[in-house]
């Protein structure tokens, strides 16, 4: 991690802080809770002024991005700040790569589509993932055999403590499966402002994961391209996952658990249909959706909280569910999977 500079002199930007604002339209679950205070920022200067004006510890600040990876369980008694840092800029280019700096407030899928249009390869397998760019390194988003760490170059983030902008490299972020230093080590210590991705001019196609090859065949694709792979991923995700604009959800609610090969052998003998994938470290990654479905939760509904009919990994709000309703359902699912398989599931969604 490198400290960039005391990047600005706080100008009289007169940031507007609103009172008692509903966050329903700012989270994809559509949970209706109130934020005691709410404000927006579009650059580091505005963020710095907000924090200076607020005079409260970082733990009472809540950064809102696309709202696609959070579950709001109660009114927020602090300042919710909407990250609206925008911009897509090429910052470096050579014969093989192109480095693109993207504002944390940019919509992730729209950025992917921008890359597809410019033939910048590396993020096509990550098409249609909801949320904003700022969340991508925070949880090392991934899908269909690709992760952010594969294309990540650096990011800039504002430090609550030092009141400065710092640069994080790939090694600094300590990426893991849906993990980074921003979820553990530096939780509530930084605000991501922009992310730089190193994309490829010559694509390295990745079609071996999931149903991509079958979908490409179904599409009648004769010659591979990042455009074709992106569309295949969009088709697959659209068929399996509910649109948050129609049914409130945050995508995959749980992580796929990792267990030892020995434990998998025991489970495989007891449950011959269990779904697992070999990992480079010799462990096995289980399909959390399969485990949940075997426990009878797929399609379950209690009031307006439920488990999606097409994908057991997705918890949904059919309309008026409270965040606590969704959370309590997730607790029951965790317990039942533990009892049946002896496997501990972990939530991917952040609980607020």
What predicted TM-score, i.e. pTM, was given to this entire model? 0.87
Burial class from Cβ neighbours inside 10 Å (0-12, 13-18, 19+) for residue 334 reads middle
Residue-level pLDDT at 11: 43
| 231, part of any domain | no
| 156, part of any domain | yes
Q: Which of 52, 47, 49, 39 is nearest to 78 (CA)?
A: 39
Which residues on neighbouring strands pair with residue 277, listed in sequence order? Answer: 285
Tokens of 126: 């990550």
In this structure, the answer to whether residues 95 and 79 fall within a common structural domain is: no
| 45, part of any domain | yes
Q: How far is CA 87 from the centre of its chain?
A: 19
pLDDT digits (tens, 9 = 90+) for 252-281: 999 999 999 999 999 999 999 999 989 889
Q: At what angle do helices 226-240 and 212-219 cross, to 10 degrees?
A: 110
In this structure, the answer to whether residues 109 and 184 fall within a common structural domain is: yes
Residue-level pLDDT at 53: 80
Domain count, the chain: 3
Domain boundary among 200, 215, 236: 200
In this structure, the answer to whether residues 50 and 108 fall within a common structural domain is: no
Query: What's the longest Cα–Cα distance across the chain?
Result: 67
In this structure, the answer to whether residues 183 and 94 fall within a common structural domain is: yes
Helices (H), the chain: 44-54, 108-117, 135-138, 170-173, 212-219, 226-240, 261-270, 288-294, 323-341
In this structure, the answer to whether residues 119 and 141 fall within a common structural domain is: yes
Q: Tell me which residues of the chain have a pLDDT lower than 50.
A: 5-13
CATH number for 339:
3.90.78.10
| 226, part of any domain | no
Check if the beta carbon of residue 86 is closer than 8 Å to that of residue 106.
Answer: yes
The 10 Å Cβ neighbour count of residue 218 is 11
Q: Which of 156, 154, 157 is nearest to 189 (CA)?
A: 157
Q: End-to-end alpha-carbon separation of the chain, Å?
A: 27
Residue-level pLDDT at 1: 67
Which residues on neighbouring strands pair with residue 195, listed in sequence order? Answer: 102, 155
d(CA 133, CA 113): 13
In this structure, the answer to whether residues 160 and 94 fall within a common structural domain is: yes
In this structure, the answer to whether residues 161 and 182 fall within a common structural domain is: yes
The 10 Å Cβ neighbour count of residue 157 is 26
Residue-level pLDDT at 9: 41
| 132, part of any domain | yes
CATH number for 23:
3.30.43.10
Strand order in the sheet with 18-22: 18-22, 34-41, 76-83, 61-64
In this structure, the answer to whether residues 42 and 70 fall within a common structural domain is: yes
d(CA 132, CA 64): 10
d(CA 290, CA 300): 15
| 243, part of any domain | no
In this structure, the answer to whether residues 307 and 272 fall within a common structural domain is: yes
In this structure, the answer to whether residues 48 and 131 fall within a common structural domain is: no
What is the bridge-based pairing of β-strands 301-302 and 165-169?
A: unpaired
Indicate the helix (H) or strand (E) that contains 102. strand 97-103
- Residues 165, 350, 344: CA angle, nearest 5 degrees: 130
Residue-level pLDDT at 58: 67
Tokens of 296: 């009878």
In this structure, the answer to whether residues 345 and 255 fall within a common structural domain is: yes
| 302, part of any domain | yes
| 121, part of any domain | yes
Strand order in the sheet with 248-252: 248-252, 314-317, 305-307, 301-302
Q: Which domain holds residue 168?
A: 88-200
d(CA 33, CA 20): 9
- Residues with catalytic annotation? 178, 252, 348
CATH number for 97:
3.30.465.10
Domain boundary among 83, 117, 145: 83
Domain boundary among 200, 218, 238: 200
The CA-atom distances, in angstroms, between 227 and each of 113, 163, 202, 218, 236 are 9, 41, 13, 15, 14
In this structure, the answer to whether residues 172 and 270 fall within a common structural domain is: no
In eight-state DSSP terms, residue 199 is E
């Amino acid at each position: 991690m490198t400290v960039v500079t005391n990047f600005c002199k706080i100008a009289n930007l007169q940031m507007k802080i609103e009172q008692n604002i509903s966050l329903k339209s700012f989270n994809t679950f559509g949970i209706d809770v109130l934020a005691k205070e709410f404000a927006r920022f579009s650059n580091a200067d505005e963020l710095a002024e907000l924090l200076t004006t607020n005079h409260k510890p970082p733990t009472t600040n809540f950064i809102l991005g696309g709202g696609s990876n959070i579950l709001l369980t109660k009114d927020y008694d602090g300042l919710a700040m909407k990250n609206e840092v925008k911009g897509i800029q090429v910052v470096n280019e050579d014969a093989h790569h192109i480095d693109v700096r993207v504002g944390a407030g940019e919509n992730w899928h729209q950025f992917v589509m921008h890359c597809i249009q410019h033939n910048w390869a590396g993020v096509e397998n990550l098409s249609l993932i909801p949320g904003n760019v700022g969340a991508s390194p925070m949880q090392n988003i991934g899908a269909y055999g690709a992760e952010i760490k594969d294309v990540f170059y650096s990011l800039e983030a504002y430090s609550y403590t030092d009141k400065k902008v710092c640069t994080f490299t790939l090694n600094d972020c300590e990426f893991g499966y849906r993990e980074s230093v921003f979820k553990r080590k530096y939780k509530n210590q930084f605000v991501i402002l922009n992310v730089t991705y190193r994309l490829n001019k010559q694509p390295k196609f990745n079609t071996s994961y999931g149903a991509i090859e079958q979908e490409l065949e179904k599409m009648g694709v004769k010659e591979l391209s990042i455009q074709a792979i992106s569309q295949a991923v969009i088709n697959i995700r659209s068929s399996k996952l509910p649109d948050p604009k129609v049914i409130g959800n945050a995508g995959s609610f749980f992580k796929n658990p990792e267990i030892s090969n020995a434990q998998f052998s025991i489970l495989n003998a007891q449950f011959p249909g269990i779904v697992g994938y070999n990992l480079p470290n010799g462990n096995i990654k289980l399909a959390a959706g399969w485990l949940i479905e075997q426990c009878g939760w797929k399609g379950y509904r209690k009031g307006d909280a439920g488990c999606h009919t097409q994908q057991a990994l997705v918890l949904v709000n059919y309309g008026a569910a409270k965040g606590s309703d969704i959370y309590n359902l997730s607790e029951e699912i965790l317990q039942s999977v533990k009892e049946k398989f002896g496997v501990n599931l972990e939530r991917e969604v952040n609980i607020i």
